[in-house]
Amino acid sequence: RLADLRGAFQAEQRRNGELFARCNEASEFCKTLSQENEKLQGTIARVAGRLREARTELEALRKERAEAKAQRKKERDLQKKAASAATEAAPTPTPAPGPPSVFESGPATAVSPPIAAPMLPTPDPAPVAVDDSMPPPTMIPAPRGDQADRERKDRKRRKTEGGAEDFVV
């Protein structure tokens, strides 16, 4: 019976030693994970800081662009106003005194029709070879307004950016 107890005691000591070694390994692994986690948190904080800086710079550039756009619009409006004022200020020509127009009431007179210049024959353009294997030329659609495209892209980008949240560290 004593031999059985000694065997059980030694088995428990071996098991205790194995568990102690596994516990030490787990402790070392946790320390390594903690160090890597701290490095990662630092990296995330730096990236979040750069992201905030980039967003503030982007917002400043957007405001600057909007101000420049408003300034250009004001300048165009001023130019239009100046052009319209110049046309309004210009005196309208008055018809010179002379014989009355055909449409005005007065005695009916015979008016001769104007003489047309003789028509000269024009040379025929060189014949163009038509290749039946080629498809007929298609109409190229007029390009859409760059401004409309930009506005649509801006709205789409703002919509996708709305769901992104800043990292909080």
Provide the pLDDT for residue 167. 47
Q: Is 165 in a helix, a strand, or coil?
A: coil
15 Cβ contact list (under 8 Å, min separation 6): none
Residue whose C-alpha is closest to residue 159's, from 151, 169, 167: 151
Provide the pLDDT for residue 123. 55
Out of 55-69, 81-95, 141-155, least confident range: 141-155
For residue 162, CA distances in Å to 115, 156, 165, 166 come to 74, 10, 8, 11
pLDDT digits (tens, 9 = 90+) for 32-79: 999 999 999 999 999 999 999 999 999 999 999 999 999 999 999 999
The pTM score is 0.39
pLDDT-based confidence at 168, cuts 50/70/90?
very low
Contact 27, 155 (CB under 8 A): no
> 3-state secondary structure string, 83-148?
HHHHHHHCCCCCCCCCCCCCCCCCCCCCCCCCCCCCCCCCCCCCCCCCCCCCCCCCCCCCCCCHHH
